[in-house]
C-alpha cells in the first residue's frame, strides 16, 4: 500500500548513517555489547596417543570463557560517493558469571607457532628445512606439538620462545612482523590501521551497510577469481530489504575468512516483545569448497572446513561449524569427544524484513589448524600429515536491544501493521457502502421506470401524453 510504503521509507531514511543523527551515534559506539564465549578443546591424552597406547586423540570441551566486547569506530571519514570509511577498536572484559572456568585455568592445546612454522617451511629447499629443524630441536629446544598455557594468555597472546626469536630476527632485518604474540583474540583486540568502507544509504537507501572497500581495495587478492575476491556483502547491520525473501541468498562479508558467506531462510521467529523476525542461517554448504575458486593451490579441504591460509599469512587455519557439524566424517574420525548439534552449533541472523535491519545474531565458528609436514623437518612426527586439529569454537551473541533502538523497530513493525489493517478494513467498508449505494440507486431507477411505463400504457391517451414530459424531467 502506497501510504505505508511512504511511512517505511521515512523510517529507513532516518536510519541512514549521517553525522549528527541519533543512528550515527549508535553506529559509531554501539550500545549493544556482544558477548564472546570461547569453548576450548583440551587435549587430555597426548602422551598416550604419542606412545600409540590410544588410537584417537581425546578432546574435552572446557569453558565457556566469556568476554563482554566494547566496540568503537575511529578515524571516521565521510566520502563524496555516499560511503564512510573507518577503523575500530575493541576492548574485552571478562564475565565470570557467564563463564564456566577462570582465566587462570591451564589448557593443553596445539602449539600454533610450531605448526605454522613447519607449514611455511614446506616452501623452502630440503637443506633449509633440515637446518631449521636442527636449530629448533637442539638450539632452542623447541619441538613440543602440544603446550600448556593459561586460558587468558591463550586468548590474548602468550610469550612464546619461537615468536621471540622471530621478533628479534625481524628487528635485525628491519622487517615488520605481523604479530608479536599468538592468541585467539589477539588480532581482534589489537589496535591496527585496517579500514572498512561501507555505504551510508544517503545515495541509495537500499544499499546501506554494504561493504565496498577493505583497506582501500575494492576486492581482495587472496583468491584466484573475482567472484571469490568480491567484498560486496553486508557489514552485518543491514541487508538489502528488497532482496529479502524466502528463496533469497543473503551475503555477509566476514573479514576473518576473507570472503562473503551465504545465508538462507530458515523460519520466522518472535525476536522480542512480539516483534517478528526472519531467521537466516548459514548455508549448509558454506564450508564446502570443492569445485569453487576458494580451493587453494594446496588442494581442496574436506567438505565441512574452509581453508583461510591464503589470507592468514600462510598459517594453516581452517574454519568450520563447531564440532565439525555437517562436515565429512573423516574430520571427526581421529577424535573422541566431538558431539555436533544443530541446536547448539548453528550460525544464524534474525532480520526485520521490512527494514532489512539485523535484530540479533548468534555467530558460531570453530577455529582449527592443519598439520602440514615438511620433508626435511623431524617435527610433528607423532601426527599424520593433513590432520586437522580443533582448537576452539566461539559464540558471539547480542542480548536484548537497548530501548531507544528497539522502539524504532517496534513502531516500524506495529504502526505499519495497524495502518495496513486500518486501510484494508477502511477500503473494504468503503467498497461495501459504495456497492450498496450503487445497488439501491439502480434499483430505485429501475422501479421508477417500470411505474412510468405502466402509466403510459393506460387507456386514457391524454393522461399518457401528460405524463411523458414529467417522466423526461424526472430522469434529467
Per the DSSP assignment, residues forming a β-bridge with 335 are: 57
Of 209 and 439, more confident: 209
362 grid coordinates? 548468534
Of the pLDDT bands very low, low, confident and very high (cuts 50, 70, 90), residue 306 is: very high
Of the pLDDT bands very low, low, confident and very high (cuts 50, 70, 90), residue 470 is: very low
Of 111 and 168, more confident: 111
Question: Are 43 and 146 spatial neighbours (Cβ–Cβ below 8 Å)?
Answer: yes
Q: Which pLDDT score, from 0 to 100, does residue 201 have?
A: 82
150 grid coordinates? 593459561
pTM: 0.82
The whole-number average pLDDT for the span 103-131 is: 85
Question: Are 409 and 15 spatial neighbours (Cβ–Cβ below 8 Å)?
Answer: no
The backbone region for 326, taken as left when phi is positive above 0, alpha when psi lies in -120 to 50, beta otherwise, is left
- What does pLDDT average to over the chain? 80
Helix (H), strand (E) at residue 280: strand 275-282
Measured between alpha carbons, how far is 315 from 204 in angstroms, rounded to an integer?
39
Of 16 and 365, more confident: 365
Residue 390 has pLDDT above 80, yes or no: yes
Of 435 and 15, more confident: 15
What's the pLDDT tens digit per position in 403-424?
Answer: 666 666 666 565 555 554 454 4
Amino acid at each position: 500500500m502506497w501510504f505505508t510504503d511512504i511511512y517505511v521509507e521515512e523510517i529507513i531514511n532516518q536510519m541512514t548513517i549521517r553525522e549528527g543523527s541519533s543512528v550515527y551515534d549508535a553506529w559509531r559506539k554501539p550500545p549493544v555489547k556482544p558477548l564472546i564465549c570461547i569453548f576450548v578443546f583440551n587435549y587430555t591424552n597426548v602422551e598416550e596417543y604419542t606412545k600409540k597406547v590410544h588410537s584417537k586423540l581425546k578432546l574435552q570441551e572446557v569453558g565457556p570463557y566469556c568476554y563482554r566486547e566494547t566496540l568503537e569506530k575511529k578515524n571516521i571519514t565521510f566520502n563524496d560517493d555516499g560511503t564512510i570509511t573507518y577503523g575500530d577498536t575493541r576492548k574485552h572484559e571478562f564475565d565470570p558469571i557467564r563463564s564456566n572456568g577462570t582465566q587462570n585455568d591451564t589448557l593443553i592445546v596445539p602449539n600454533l607457532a610450531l605448526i605454522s612454522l613447519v607449514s611455511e617451511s614446506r616452501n623452502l629447499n630440503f637443506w633449509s628445512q633440515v637446518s631449521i629443524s636442527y636449530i629448533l630441536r637442539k638450539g632452542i629446544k623447541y619441538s613440543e606439538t602440544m603446550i600448556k598455557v593459561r586460558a587468558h594468555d591463550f586468548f590474548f597472546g602468550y610469550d612464546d620462545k619461537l615468536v621471540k626469536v622471530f621478533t628479534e630476527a625481524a628487528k635485525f632485518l628491519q622487517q615488520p612482523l605481523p604479530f608479536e604474540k599468538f592468541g585467539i583474540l589477539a588480532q581482534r583486540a589489537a589496535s591496527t590501521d585496517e579500514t572498512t568502507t561501507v555505504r551510508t544509504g544517503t545515495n541509495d537507501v537500499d544499499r546501506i551497510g554494504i561493504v565496498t572497500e577493505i583497506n582501500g581495495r575494492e576486492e581482495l587478492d587472496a583468491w584466484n577469481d573475482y567472484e571469490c575476491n568480491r567484498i560486496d556483502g553486508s557489514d552485518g547491520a543491514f541487508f538489502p530489504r528488497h532482496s529479502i525473501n524466502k528463496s533469497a541468498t543473503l551475503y555477509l562479508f566476514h573479514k576473518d575468512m576473507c570472503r562473503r558467506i551465504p545465508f538462507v531462510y530458515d523460519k520466522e521467529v518472535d525476536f522480542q516483545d512480539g516483534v517478528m523476525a526472519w531467521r537466516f542461517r548459514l548455508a549448509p554448504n558454506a564450508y564446502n569448497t570443492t569445485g569453487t575458486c576458494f580451493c587453494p593451490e594446496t588442494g581442496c579441504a574436506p567438505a565441512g572446513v574452509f581453508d583461510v591460509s591464503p589470507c592468514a599469512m600462510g598459517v594453516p587455519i581452517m574454519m568450520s561449524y563447531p564440532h565439525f557439524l555437517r562436515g565429512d566424517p573423516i574430520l571427526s574420525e581421529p577424535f573422541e569427544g566431538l558431539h555436533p548439534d544443530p541446536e547448539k552449533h548453528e550460525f544464524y541472523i534474525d532480520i526485520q524484513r521490512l527494514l532489512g535491519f539485523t535484530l540479533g545474531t548468534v555467530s558460531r565458528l570453530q577455529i582449527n589448524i592443519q598439520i602440514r609436514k615438511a620433508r626435511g623437518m623431524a617435527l610433528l612426527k607423532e601426527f599424520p600429515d593433513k590432520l586437522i586439529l580443533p582448537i576452539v569454537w566461539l559464540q558471539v551473541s547480542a542480548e536484548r536491544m537497548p530501548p531507544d533502538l528497539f522502539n524504532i523497530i517496534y513502531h516500524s513493525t506495529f504502526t505499519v501493521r495497524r495502518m495496513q489493517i486500518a486501510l484494508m478494513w477502511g477500503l473494504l467498508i468503503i467498497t461495501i457502502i459504495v456497492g450498496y449505494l450503487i445497488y439501491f440507486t439502480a434499483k430505485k431507477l429501475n422501479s421508477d421506470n417500470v411505474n412510468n411505463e405502466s402509466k403510459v400504457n393506460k387507456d386514457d391517451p391524454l393522461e399518457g401524453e401528460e405524463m411523458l414530459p414529467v417522466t423526461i424531467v424526472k430522469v434529467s
